[in-house]
Structure 1
Amino acid sequence: MADREAAQEADGQRLSTRETADRLGVKPETVYAYVSRGQLTSRREPGGRGSTFDAKEVDALARRAGRREPSSSGSELAVRTGITLIDRNHCYFRGVDTSELAAHYSYEEVAEWLWTGELRPGIRFTAPQDALSAARRAVQALPPHSGPMDRLRVAVIAAAAADPLRFDLSENPVIDTARTLIPTLVDALPSHAPEPGAGDSLATRLWSRLTAEPADAAALRVLDAALVLLIDHDLAASTLAVRVAASARAHPYAIVSAGFGALDGVMHGAASGLAHRMLREVLDRDSAAAVVADHLRAGRQVPGLGHRVYTGEDPRAHTLFQLLEDVPQARPALQAARHVITTTARHADLHANVDLALAVLTVSTGMPAEAGETVFAVSRTAGWIAHALEEYAERPLRMRPSGQYHGPRPPQPLP
């Protein structure tokens, strides 16, 4: 046995038929079809009962084939990724529980680790002056009623225009772009308080853009944890948009713009604003039951409850609620959120999601309703870059599904 394992190590990793099928996203019978067509080479080990395949050869075939696989329903596109796994009401980044990451590391540390595989304690992202000046000028030119997402969209375009080398899609330049783009987005937003220093954490600098209230250590810890937890969440709508753009070899600024476009909706990034307004109303009326009843009577879903990928409580919400226990000014909003949960539970089996936890933070610290979406957008930029790095390593333009035409059959008369 030891001799066989040593031989396998010397010859490269070998995969069983089942492992090969899983890696390719096909049935075992299809693996043997690949062998018959000369696309894979099988080998039967001495004393073994099945064929084995070279892992590098399998991965090369997966890349050529676009690494697409059918979902469990067989009707949706699935894309292989090594970034996020959501399993049994837990979320993992590269196999590590996101709640553990949020408990031990800052947003910048986790983002750097996600991009490079290297943990750099105390790392700080800083904005280059040219990009920051361009972004600030563009943001200042917007109408006064412009919201944070308007400003972020304009800032990323201005930063792109200031970077003539943005079309270099090799790994290190893309990561360098990410390290500078994220702080540029944050520092381009108008500040409500004396501006923090460039050496402060990203969470500290973002705080001053969201509220004029001073940042105590416990509340700032919640914001930093939220930034970590929201970095990625598998192939959400915005992340799929990013992967499509990266498949077409759009540069990093353009893929972030694609993400912002898909994020800007009440079914995605803007959902936290609805939870904020609902929670504010509960506090103003001092009644969760009345507010929940109004939503049910109008046929609306109660904001901040339920999630399509979790059967229980959103683990991100669970982590943030625990941290919010240590924030004294958050206690009224936290109690109101729990009343919403228990009131709704009488009628529907719904659990809190991260939008409700974000709403507790934003309501209790004097942040506007749009603050949760801003946190979401800034945080998710790191995840989008990670997905772009994966997609840049794949075959170009592989994200090209075929449409199912349901229009009039040709030929039709000229209109």
Structure 2
Amino acid sequence: MTDQPADRERLTTREAAERLGVKPETVYAYVSRGQLTSRRDPGGRGSTFDAKEVDALVRRGRREPAAGGDVTQRIRTGITLIDKDRYYYRGVDATELARRYHYEEIADWLWTGTLRAGVRFTAPPEPLAAARSAVAALPGHSGSTDRLRVAAIAAAAADPLRFDLGREAVLGCARSLIPTLVDALPVAGREHRGEGRLAWRLWARLTAERPDETALHALDMALSLLIDHDLAASTLAVRVAASARAHPYAVVSAGLGALDGPLHGAASGLAHRMLAEVLERGSAAPVVADHLRAGRRVPGLGHRLYPAQDPRAEALFDVLATLPAARPALAAAREVEATTARQMELHANVDLALAVLSVSSGMPAEAGETVFAVARTAGWIAHALEEYEERPLRMRPSGQYTGPRPPRPLP
């Protein structure tokens, strides 16, 4: 090895690993491949590395521009493609996946690339007990997203291994966190365990009505259709958290925080209330007119990524059409769509389809938001797994300062 000038900054193995965003073992792998050179510390405390050489390796492996560039416009992902009114998970039509496989199977395949038929997710006892206790302590008027956020935080506190960001550790966390979120919610009716599927357990937390297999298939399909949808607001929040190397529970909490608003996760609740009003009044026309008169958008219609039909809505409508109990709500949704089309061409989106499911199944207005949040947790984990492989803290765009120019006098 060639001696370095004394004035060159040297990094310890830990410091080099942090700068590269890798584990210490990987630093030595770079040395073995000739990508880095090391030098024994004179004090005998291990190897040191030339900071400039480490920085050069960082630049060679960097996909995004340097800090200050618009990194949010250049996030590469291999998870979801939206193209020509269809969307695909890792190149496979997502609606076809949802028709053929269960939610857990699709989620696990999305994370690993291997489809394991019949895979089931199970909540470990200690994190589940902590999550249930925390959720039970909330005020009675708490919303579903409040409960899910608290459940995620409590489960994290009960998991001392949560800071392990190795791939297998994150996968293990994902397979236990999703059922923990579901099982921590209060039961609305009789719990149905059938085969241990997640849709059975979630149904019992959304409504007291007894489901048949077709209704459970509709819920399971809704979960599958909503796993991911490219870089939605909550998913971007997840990637920012993962870029800062937040653990999976914190990453999911970031997603839940961004989801909690009327323009994202709560949109289906607005559609639910509108459909319930249409059924009560017997016609969509006066309800649509009231929304337009008040200057409000008609809930559940239109999507900026789908100029024509939302494929998620159409796939879910197909299943709901086979449910006798869902036919009145489905007819009301179609009437809303047709009434609005007289003035503007807007098609039903997935929020309206979720509203048909929730209204027809005796679920509360926030049920769609719960389904959305549970489903999307799998997608958030998939994005976190991608982001953990990237350079850390890369999500650092520069603000465009619009305040007064300095110097200014002290106030």
TM-score normalised over the length of structure 1: 0.83
* Matching residue of 2:91: 95
Hey, what's the Cα distance between the residues in 2 that align with 1:283 and 1:410? Answer: 60
* Matching residue of 2:334: 338
Asked whether 1:235 is paired with 2:236, we answer no
CA displacement at 1:76 relative to structure 2: 6.3
What amino acid maps onto 2:116 in structure 1? R
Q: Summarize the Cα distance change of 1:167–1:273 in structure 2 as closer, same or farther, 3 Å threshold.
A: same
Contact 1:193 1:212 in 2 (8 A): yes
Residues 125-151 of structure 1 deviation map (CA, whole Å, 9 limit, x = unaligned): 000000000000001111111121111
Hey, what's the Cα distance between the residues in 2 that align with 1:284 and 1:62? Answer: 63
* Matching residue of 2:168: 172
The structure 1 residue matched to 2:397, chosen from 398, 401, 405, is 401
What amino acid maps onto 1:398 in structure 2? R
Asked whether 1:147 is paired with 2:140, we answer no
* Matching residue of 1:276: 272
Contact 1:136 1:189 in 2 (8 A): yes
Q: Summarize the Cα distance change of 1:136–1:337 in structure 2 as closer, same or farther, 3 Å threshold.
A: same
SS in 2 for 1:323: helix
Hey, what's the Cα distance between the residues in 2 that align with 1:369 and 1:358? Answer: 10
Q: Summarize the Cα distance change of 1:62–1:342 in structure 2 as closer, same or farther, 3 Å threshold.
A: farther
CA displacement at 1:349 relative to structure 2: 1.1
What amino acid maps onto 2:84 in structure 1? R
CA displacement at 1:153 relative to structure 2: 0.7
SS in 1 for 2:81: strand
Asked whether 1:369 is paired with 2:368, we answer no
What amino acid maps onto 2:190 in structure 1? P
Hey, what's the Cα distance between the residues in 1 that align with 2:63 and 2:286? Answer: 55
> What's the Cα RMSD here?
2.1
Contact 2:72 2:395 in 1 (8 A): no
Contact 1:66 1:395 in 2 (8 A): no
CA displacement at 1:62 relative to structure 2: 7.7
Contact 1:317 1:353 in 2 (8 A): yes
User: Which has the bigger relative contact order, CA under 8 A and spacing at least 6?
Assistant: 2
The structure 1 residue matched to 2:300, chosen from 277, 282, 304, is 304
The structure 1 residue matched to 2:248, chosen from 233, 237, 252, is 252
Hey, what's the Cα distance between the residues in 2 that align with 1:199 and 1:188? Answer: 19
CA displacement at 1:198 relative to structure 2: 8.5
Asked whether 1:134 is paired with 2:130, we answer yes
CA displacement at 1:66 relative to structure 2: 2.7
What amino acid maps onto 1:166 in structure 2? R
Hey, what's the Cα distance between the residues in 1 that align with 2:72 and 2:402? Answer: 19
Hey, what's the Cα distance between the residues in 1 that align with 2:141 and 2:283? Answer: 31
The structure 2 residue matched to 1:115, chosen from 111, 114, 130, is 111
Instruction: Among all aligned residue pairs of Structure 1 and Structure 2, give the percentage whose two residues are the same amino acid.
Output: 71
Query: After the TM superposition, which residues 202-241 of structure 1 pair with which residues of structure 2 at under 5 Å, given as runs?
Result: 202-241=198-237
* Matching residue of 1:84: 80
Asked whether 1:388 is paired with 2:384, we answer yes
CA displacement at 1:243 relative to structure 2: 0.1
Q: Summarize the Cα distance change of 1:288–1:257 in structure 2 as closer, same or farther, 3 Å threshold.
A: same
* Matching residue of 1:51: none
* Matching residue of 2:62: 64
* Matching residue of 1:414: 410
Hey, what's the Cα distance between the residues in 1 that align with 2:75 and 2:97? Answer: 24
Contact 1:242 1:387 in 2 (8 A): yes
Give the paired residue count: 356
CA displacement at 1:271 relative to structure 2: 0.2
Contact 1:273 1:370 in 2 (8 A): yes
SS in 2 for 1:79: coil
Q: Summarize the Cα distance change of 1:274–1:93 in structure 2 as closer, same or farther, 3 Å threshold.
A: same
Extract unaligned runs of 5+ from structure 1: 1-59
CA displacement at 1:63 relative to structure 2: 4.3
Query: After the TM superposition, which residues 40-59 of structure 1 pair with which residues of structure 2 at under 5 Å, given as runs?
Result: none
Q: Summarize the Cα distance change of 1:211–1:67 in structure 2 as closer, same or farther, 3 Å threshold.
A: farther
Query: After the TM superposition, which residues 287-366 of structure 1 pair with which residues of structure 2 at under 5 Å, given as runs?
Result: 287-366=283-362
Contact 1:317 1:357 in 2 (8 A): yes
Contact 1:126 1:198 in 2 (8 A): no
Q: Summarize the Cα distance change of 1:76–1:256 in structure 2 as closer, same or farther, 3 Å threshold.
A: closer
TM-score normalised over the length of structure 2: 0.84
Residues 252-274 of structure 1 deviation map (CA, whole Å, 9 limit, x = unaligned): 00000000000000000000000
Contact 1:242 1:255 in 2 (8 A): yes
